[in-house]
Amino acid sequence: MLRLQEEIKKYQESFKQKVPQDIQELMLKATKKLQEQKLSKNALKVGDKAITFKLKNANYKEICLEEQLKENDFIVLNFYRGQWCPYCNLELQALQSINAQLKALNGKIIAISPQTPDNSLTTKEKNELEFEVLSDEFNKVAKEYGLVFSLDEELRPIYKSFGIDIITANNEDSFELPMPATFVINKNKEIIYSFVDEDYTKRSEPQTILDIIQKNK
């Protein structure tokens, strides 16, 4: 199992060495601005009922949460920003590292981003993922889960300078993204675990997800 926080720390150390200080400060400022808005307070919480949906996977096949809950005791629902986000890739790889253990507990991972199905396929192949990666066009589902924000205008040219093209990735120009979030949903559609953070560098540790499921088994 990958220890996600350790992998994130390694990446951050490398990032700090490569990226100019003024850009790092702008990025931190944008994160603090989001934190001050306390957007995560609007997200679904433990005890809430999960909102069901139908979304296309990387092969354009429609996946229905309701049907998945009939077949599995637990769904681990992960909202990520896109395959252009290094933190998201680290998180998806960490989730893949517990995929077999989750299956043994009759659990299933479903990852969701606003990317097009083609870009979802790129994400799946790039990270060698064995679970569903769904396309949430215009963040419709992410909005229902209370996760959506608009990327700070000061960050847009910075992301572009990093070679990140969010407009093409999502095939729309709103610059709306989901806050990184992980929910564990039981067979009764009840959310038994919720992790949402305005700071995109913070993610749920895979071991925490396993512990929650084993406790509720």
How many CB atoms lie under 10 A from the CB of residue 165?
A: 12
Summarize the confidence of residues 11-32 as an average pLDDT: 95
| pLDDT for residue 25 is more than 90 | yes
Per-residue model confidence as pLDDT tens digits over 116-170: 999 998 899 999 999 999 999 999 999 999 999 999 999 999 999 999 999 999 9
Query: In the numeric block, which tokens belong to residue 62?
Result: 């429609």
Q: Which of 78, 150, 85, 64 is nearest to 109 (CA)?
A: 78
- In the chain, which residue ranges form alpha helices assigned H by DSSP? 4-18, 21-37, 65-71, 86-96, 99-104, 117-126, 140-144, 155-161, 166-170, 206-216
C-alpha gyration radius of the chain = 17
pTM over 0.85: yes
| pLDDT for residue 177 is more than 80 | yes
Q: How many residues comprise the chain?
A: 217
The DSSP result for 43-94, as a single string, is: S--TTSBPPP-EEEETTS-EEEHHHHHHH-SEEEEEE---TT-HHHHHHHHH
End-to-end CA distance of the chain: 20
Summarize the confidence of residues 39-55 as an average pLDDT: 97
Query: In the numeric block, which tokens belong to residue 34?
Result: 């989001």
Confidence grade of residue 51 (pLDDT, cut at 50, 70, 90): very high
